[in-house]
Amino acid sequence: MLLAPIGTYLNYKLGTRKTVFIGIMMTSMSLALSATVHNIVLLFLFYGVLVGCGMILIVNPPFFLIDEYFPYNHHRHVLATSIIACGFPLATLIFNPLTFVLLDAVQWRITYSLFAGVLFVVGSLTTLTFRHKYPKETDPAEEDRISRTGIAPEPQPDTVTLPRRTKAIIGTIWFTVSTLKSMGYYTPFLTLVKQMEVLGIPQRQSSEAMAVAGSCEVFSRLLTSYIGDYFKGKILYMYVLCCVLLCIQNALGTMAYTFTHLAIYAAALGLFGGPIIAAMYSSCSEVLQGQHVPVIFTTFRVGLGIGALAGPTLAGVIFDHTNSFLGVFYMNSVIYLVASSLYAFIIYLNKRKPKWCFPDVGEELSLIENAKGLRTADSGAICSAIQTDNPVFVGVSSVPDSSGDSTDGEYNKLD
């Protein structure tokens, strides 16, 4: 996930089909090579590094392809982009038991080889279905005019152009909260089994608890995919609620000392954590008012990768120094409290967009003058409108021109 920017770059340079196929080739070859190694260093290189690099090329690009067919204004956008994320916990429920069976039956080398072959065959056939949506065809008369004059139609300016400071501040907050969320999300999945072992709970029951967590997460992700379109535009509010519930859950986890308590904790982990991952692509459209979604999504994925490394590592340090998991529960509780506050802060900043997220006056005047041909002297009314506490205007509904006449209906007020 740390290499998510590379996956995004290749997707836009090569297309989804080629990028995913490269990832499939890299991952399947790395799995096959992992089956031949005889020392841990090469296994770490082939399986830990190369498989991870290949997977990021497989996982990220399909989100962008789905978004082409189901853009944010489509009535099934959340369903289409969230249903992809439902496959990850479902695959865990299926392949984890299958892997244990294969390891007992044919040992790990043949297991790796089988997975490499299955991934290459199934993955290659799947990429044949990937096809970018064709852009709208240009009108033949318009093509003829462009070929004769060499002048293309001028692009229309964006309704709202966010200034760089806004993008930088909200982008930094989004990266931070994505990292924190990932720390809180991945840590329990890696420490819960160890905690049960410390408490003397049999390994079979520990596996059952993790199966409960996976099942509840599949359910919550499917539910989010199904009903998410009814909450489009309010997904960040759902993130705040889920983080608050996870904060409370981890605080109560400090009192869990039996299998029943930890099984309930695992169920809550799946129920409250699943919606955040399921709606991760749709939520990116609400961060910067629908702008720069690929960059925001890539930032989210990089934050997940950093959090997946930092969270369990910090949890291990806490356990080594205290010989207890109480500190890990407290850490996760604080993480989710901070995350909920940052999600709420992003919502607050977007609510203040008429005053805070509006373009710099110079940028806005440049856009208006280029689009409408206004005189610089006639733009004073727009400057005043932008700098006051009144609703922000891209222009005003009636601005006198140089002759004293008004130009009605040429500008629109922003809500």
Q: Could you tell me the pTM of the whole model? A: 0.74
How many whole angstroms separate alpha carbon 413 and alpha carbon 369?
A: 16
22-26, 132-136, 349-353, 402-406: least confidently modelled range: 402-406
User: Which pLDDT band holds residue 343 (cuts at 50, 70, 90)?
Assistant: very high
Closest CA to 277 of 178, 343, 390: 178
Chain centroid to Cα 266, Å, comes to 23
* C-alpha span between 47 and 31 (Å, rounded): 6
Contact between 364 and 161 (Cβ < 8 Å): yes
- Per-residue pLDDT at 392 exceeds 60: no
User: Comparing 192 with 136, which gets the higher pLDDT?
Assistant: 192
CB 270 within 8 A of CB 215: yes
The reported pLDDT for the residue numbered 142 is: 53
Q: Is 408 helix (H, G, I), strand (E, B) or coil?
A: strand
Say what the pLDDT of residue 148 is. Answer: 57
Average pLDDT, the chain: 79
Pairing of strands 398-400, 406-408: antiparallel
Average pLDDT over residues 218-230: 91
Q: How does 392-410 read in b/e, with b if 16+ C-beta sit within 10 Å? A: bbbbbeebeeeeeeebeee
SS3 407: strand
Radius of gyration for the alpha carbons in the chain, expressed in angstroms and rounded: 26
Give all domains of the chain, ordered by start, each with its CATH number: 1-130 (no CATH), 163-356 (1.20.1250.20), 361-408 (no CATH)
Question: In terms of Cα–Cα distance, which of 164, 122, 378, 121 is closest to 292?
Answer: 164
Token reading at 46: 């082939």
| Position 409 pLDDT exceeds 50 | no
Place of tokens 């934050």: 303
Query: Taking residues 76-82, what's their average pLDDT?
Result: 90
Question: DSSP alpha helices (H): ranges in 128-202?
Answer: 140-149, 164-198
- Coil, strand or helix: which one is 133? coil
pLDDT of residue 150: 52
pLDDT digits (tens, 9 = 90+) for 7-35: 888 888 888 899 999 999 999 999 999 88
Residue 393: DSSP 8-state: B
- Residue type at 234? K
pLDDT of residue 254: 86
Percent of the chain with pLDDT over 70: 77
What is d(CA 396, CA 382) in angstroms, rounded to the nearest whole number?
7
Give tens-digit pLDDT for 242-295: 999 999 999 998 888 888 888 899 899 999 998 998 888 999 888 887 788 888
Closest-CA residue to 158 (of 346, 5, 357): 357
Is the per-residue pLDDT at 364 higher than 60? no
Inter-residue contact 287 to 307 (CB < 8 Å): no
Lowest mean pLDDT among 119-123, 139-143, 275-279, 310-314: 139-143
pLDDT surpassing 50 at residue 391: no
Q: Which range is least confidently modeled, 3-17, 80-94, 128-142, 181-195?
A: 128-142
Measured in Å, how far apart are the chain's first and last C-alpha atoms? 37
Residue 157 has pLDDT above 50, yes or no: no
In whole angstroms, what is the distance from residue 19 CA to residue 64 CA?
A: 12
Q: Can you list the alpha helix ranges (DSSP code H) found in 49-86?
A: 51-59, 61-69, 77-82
| Structure tokens that stand for 164 in this block | 């760089």
Tell me the pLDDT band of 393, cut-offs 50, 70 and 90.
very low
Q: Crossing angle, helix 259-278 and helix 87-127, to 10 degrees?
A: 40
Nearest by Cα to 48 from 57, 59, 58, 40 = 40
Residue 398 scores a pLDDT above 70 = no
Provide mean pLDDT across the span 85-92: 80
Q: Which helix (H) or strand (E) holds 398?
A: strand 398-400
